[in-house]
Amino acid sequence: MSPKKSETGDLLRDTLDMLILKTLSRGETHGYGIAEYIEETSEEVLRVEEGALYPALHRLQVRGLLAAEWGTSENNRRAKFYRLTAAGRKQLAEETAHWGRMTSAIARILEPA
């Protein structure tokens, strides 16, 4: 993986993992669907790099947080669908809690005194 310069909108690895897990908690979908969902939901603020998305999906699958199987997409193409495993669900819960603590802490610091 080439270390990329961090620009606005770039997703840090752990954050990307969490967003993937969160997206899949709504139901199974394919990689393209995940990218689209994140972009739409964030109102185009977060743009998912394919160069980061697919390695992340494969990493999460190897770690057993995701499971994958081939299915047919909305437009009748063969696509690889990912879904959360039990471990993935647990991981998501942990990361969401952690994230909540982090953001509220940062928010407190940034709030005008």
Q: Which is nearer to other proteins, 25 or 59 (CB)?
A: 59
DSSP the chain: -PPPP--TTPPPHHHHHHHHHHHHTT--EEHHHHHHHHHHHTTTSS---HHHHHHHHHHHHHTTSEEEEEEE-TTS-EEEEEEE-HHHHHHHHHHHHHHHHHHHHHHHHHS--
Q: Which is nearer to other proteins, 64 or 100 (CB)?
A: 64
The distance of Cα 54 from the centroid of its chain, to the nearest Å, equals 11
Report the nearest approach of other proteins to the CB of residue 18 (Å): 17
Q: Please enumerate in sequence order all residues whose Cβ is within 8 A of that of 76, keeping only pairs 6 or more positions apart, or say none.
A: none
Q: Which is nearer to other proteins, 57 or 84 (CB)?
A: 57
Report the nearest approach of other proteins to the CB of residue 96 (Å): 20
Q: Which is nearer to other proteins, 18 or 35 (CB)?
A: 35
Contacting residues toward other proteins, per CB under 8 A: 1-2, 30-32, 35, 49-51, 54-55, 57-59, 61-64, 70, 73, 75, 77-80
Report the nearest approach of other proteins to the CB of residue 36 (Å): 8
Report the nearest approach of other proteins to the CB of residue 112 (Å): 39
